């Protein structure tokens, strides 16, 4: 077709034309220069044509993606979700895109510990002379960084949940103290049989709730690693008690066999609690998510110089092809949001730190059995518990003038009525500051104080009393709903003063105060010769 006497230019070709003669030599030279340039870049880089074929790739890129070779379609070498649309967008708009997150699913059979590979990619359009617009693609593998970030976020979440649970549990201990205490006061009265049974049920359920809260506090608080005398049967039973309700609502029967001759050992109680709880939770999940019922069998026995703890369920089991991966970090068979894949790897680390071993036996549809073995280490016996000696002593009938300090009105009322019933005189204060004003003007034989109160707490009150009336500071009984708190525990261990953990029984309260009453009696006898 002619236009103004000249042939019209041919339509632009969509494919790259071949250069010949001087143009070809110049183009090839620029291409070689481009190749040398990207080789000098210290990150994985490839040049990609408009047809999405690889023009050049540096050594770092080929080390990261071995299939990224010259002439190959980039999508056959590297195919994360979203890459092709990213490249097409840059071709169409001519605008660079930086730090775009890409994800590529991984075949679980080839890499079961990592659910997906994650990358950060940047695409920049460049004009390479006669070759026209090419794309410079840089890729960074951020899988490990993403996994570390996920682990950190999960750890922070668990810490936050633990702190919240501990706070809730601590707050529950105050009403539980009142419920259990007042029910015990009622049981001291002359009641008809039906009323007595009802109140006994209230007291029993309050004690059960207190036990659950105590277990929750033990698991929620972070503790310093410490090797202490360890009773495996007692520890496993505590974990079972904590998850008793979960088993019940999921129609899971728990069968136990604890050999009474199993020796104690030295271990970090809270770390091993974490191990047993994680294994038990996995069994509960396996049974509840598969058929909604089942049996968990738990055993504790001595085998030579080791203690063997076995937890077995009759659930769906673990497929043979993934059995060897269950202790790897980030491996999980649970759906997204249901697990992080960190539990069993942490369990393995804890058990190996104790010089023990953990393994799993399972077949698909035949259940799973986790076997934990820890060595028997000679137990370092702690000094004799003074409270046990106090319990063995005969009750004292010496009257005490007691100052009871607690910010909970129900607990103050309970202490007043309970102590009056055994012949003591009681004054109360709602916080440490009010108690301190009363101590300035009155003499008391003993002080009962809560540890955590608004303003002046129990620890601060103790320090003030020690400076004001040192002899009275030796007759303080602390109440606390959170002995799992590191600060509370450290303070109580440092002072060596007696403590009652909420919720407590009235009998425990009486026995503690009997020690103060006997001391007052002895002072009186000594003063009168």
How confident is the model over 6-54, as pLDDT tens digits?
A: 444 443 333 344 444 445 555 555 556 666 777 878 889 999 988 899 9
Residues 87-120 pLDDT 10s = 999 988 989 999 999 988 776 544 445 667 889 9
Q: Quick one: tokens of 237?
A: 């039973």
Rounded Cα distance, 449 and 454, in Å: 13
Report CA-CA distances (Å) from 484 to 169, 259, 327, 429: 11, 29, 29, 25
511 backbone dihedrals φ, ψ, rounded to 5°: -65, -40
What is the C-alpha to C-alpha distance for residues 115 and 111, in angstroms, rounded to an integer?
8
Residues 6 or more apart from 501 whose CB is under 8 A from it? 214, 480, 481, 483
CA-to-CA dists, residue 289 to 54, 282, 321, angstroms? 47, 10, 21
pLDDT for res 15 = 35
Return the pLDDT at 388.
44
What is the predicted pLDDT for the residue at 528?
A: 65
HSE on the CB side for 145, CA within 13 Å? Answer: 7
Domain residue spans in the chain? 34-141, 228-376, 386-527
The torsion region of residue 292 among left (phi > 0), alpha (psi -120 to 50) and beta comes to: left
Q: Which pLDDT score is estimated for 484? A: 57
Residue reference for tokens 């494919």: 15
Residues 225 and 486: their CA atoms lie apart, in Å, by 12
Q: What gap in Å lies between CA 267 and CA 380, rounded to an integer?
A: 11
Residue 173 phi/psi, 5° resolution?
-65, -30
Pseudo-torsion of CA 147, 151, 152, 154, nearest 10°? 130
The CATH number of domain 228-376, selected from 3.40.50.720, 3.40.50.11540, 3.30.565.10, 3.50.40.10: 3.30.565.10
- Give me the numbers of helices (H) and strands (E) for the chain, helices first please: 18, 19
Residues 6 or more apart from 7 whose CB is under 8 A from it? 1
Contacts of 210 (CB under 8 A, 6+ apart): 173, 176, 180, 502, 503
- Select from 143, 94, 93, 91 the least CA-distant residue to 117: 143
> From residue 52, how far is each of 62, 73, 75, 80, 251 by CA, in Å?
17, 6, 8, 14, 57
Rounded Cα distance between 261 and 214, Å, is 27
Provide the token pair at 209.
């709730």
Select from 503, 290, 527 the least CA-distant residue to 414: 503
* Burial of residue 512 (number of CB atoms within 10 Å: 0-12, 13-18, 19+): buried
pLDDT of amino acid 292: 85
Interaxial angle between packed helices 193-220 and 269-290, expressed in degrees from 0 to 180 and rounded to the nearest 10: 110
Query: Exposed/middle/buried for 156, CB within 10 Å: 0-12, 13-18, 19+?
Result: exposed
Helix (H, G, I), strand (E, B) or coil at 311: strand
The Cα–Cα gap between 515 and 519 comes to: 6
Place of tokens 């799993």: 360
Q: Same CATH fold, 386-527 and 34-141?
A: no
The DSSP secondary structure of 92-148, one letter per residue, reads HH---EEEEEEEEE--TTT-TT-SEEEEEEEEEEEE-GGG-EEEEEEEEE-HHHHHH
- Maximal CA-CA distance, the chain: 140
In angstroms, what is the C-alpha Rg of the chain? Answer: 36
Could you tell me what percent of the chain has a pLDDT over 90? 32
Average pLDDT for runs of 10 along the chain of length 529:
43 40 53 69 88 90 90 90 91 91 71 71 80 83 80 68 68 86 89 88 83 66 68 91 87 92 90 88 89 92 94 88 75 50 74 92 85 90 47 62 93 92 91 92 92 89 92 92 72 88 88 87 74
Q: Are strands 228-230 and 133-141 parallel, antiparallel or unpaired?
A: unpaired
Q: 386-527 maps to which CATH number?
A: 3.40.50.2300
Nearest to 339, CA basis, from 296, 289, 270, 272? 289
CA 86 – CA 79 distance, rounded (Å) = 12
CATH H superfamily, domain 34-141: PAS domain (3.30.450.20)
């Amino acid at each position: 077709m002619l236009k103004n006497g000249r042939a019209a230019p041919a339509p632009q070709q969509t494919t790259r034309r071949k250069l010949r003669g001087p143009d070809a030599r110049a183009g090839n030279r620029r291409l070689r220069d481009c190749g040398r340039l990207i080789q000098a870049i210290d990150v994985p880089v490839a040049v990609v044509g408009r047809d999405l074929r690889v023009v050049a790739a540096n050594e770092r890129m080929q080390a990261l993606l071995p299939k990224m070779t010259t002439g190959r379609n980039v999508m056959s070498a590297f195919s994360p979700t979203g890459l092709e649309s990213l490249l097409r967008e840059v071709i169409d708009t001519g605008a660079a895109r930086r730090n775009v997150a890409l994800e590529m699913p991984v075949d679980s059979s080839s890499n079961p510990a990592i659910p997906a590979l994650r990358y950060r990619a940047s695409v920049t359009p460049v004009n390479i002379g006669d070759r026209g617009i090419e794309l410079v693609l840089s890729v960074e593998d951020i899988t490990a960084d993403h996994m570390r970030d996920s682990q950190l976020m999960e750890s922070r979440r668990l810490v936050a949940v633990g702190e919240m649970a501990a706070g809730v549990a601590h707050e529950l201990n105050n009403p539980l103290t009142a419920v259990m205490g007042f029910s015990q006061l009622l049981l001291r009265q002359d009641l008809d049989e039906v009323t007595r049974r009802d109140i006994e049920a209230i007291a029993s359920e309050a004690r059960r709730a207190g036990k659950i809260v105590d277990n929750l506090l033990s698991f929620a608080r972070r503790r310093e690693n410490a090797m202490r005398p360890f009773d495996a049967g007692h520890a496993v039973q505590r974990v079972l008690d904590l998850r008793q309700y979960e088993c019940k609502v999921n129609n899971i029967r728990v069968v136990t066999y604890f050999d009474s001759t199993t020796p104690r050992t030295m271990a970090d109680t809270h770390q091993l609690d974490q191990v047993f709880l994680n294994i038990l939770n996995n069994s509960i999940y396996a049974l509840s998510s598969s058929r909604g019922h089942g049996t968990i069998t738990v055993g504790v026995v001595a085998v030579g110089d080791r203690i063997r703890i076995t937890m077995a369920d009759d659930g769906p089991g673990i497929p043979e092809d993934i059995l060897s991966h269950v202790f790897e970090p980030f491996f999980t068979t649970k759906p997204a949001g249901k697990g992080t894949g960190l539990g069993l790897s942490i369990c393995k680390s804890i058990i190996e730190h104790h010089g023990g071993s953990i393994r799993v036996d399972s077949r698909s549809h035949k259940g799973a059995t986790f076997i934990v073995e820890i060595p028997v280490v000679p137990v370092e016996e702690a000094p004799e518990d003074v409270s046990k000696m106090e319990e063995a002593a005969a009750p004292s009938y010496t009257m005490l003038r007691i100052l009871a300090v607690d910010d909970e009105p129900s607990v103050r009322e309970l202490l007043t009525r309970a102590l009056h019933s055994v012949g003591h005189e009681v004054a109360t204060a709602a916080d440490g500051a009010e108690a301190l004003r009363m101590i300035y003007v009155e003499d008391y034989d003993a002080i009962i104080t809560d540890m955590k109160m608004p303003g002046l707490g129990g620890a601060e009150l103790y320090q003030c009393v020690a400076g004001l009336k040192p002899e009275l500071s030796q007759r303080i009984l602390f109440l606390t709903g959170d002995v799992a708190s590191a600060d509370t525990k450290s303070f109580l261990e440092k002072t060596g003063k007696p403590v009652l953990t909420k919720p407590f029984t009235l009998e425990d309260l009486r026995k503690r105060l009997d020690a103060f009453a006997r001391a007052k009696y002895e002072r009186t006898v000594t003063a009168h010769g």
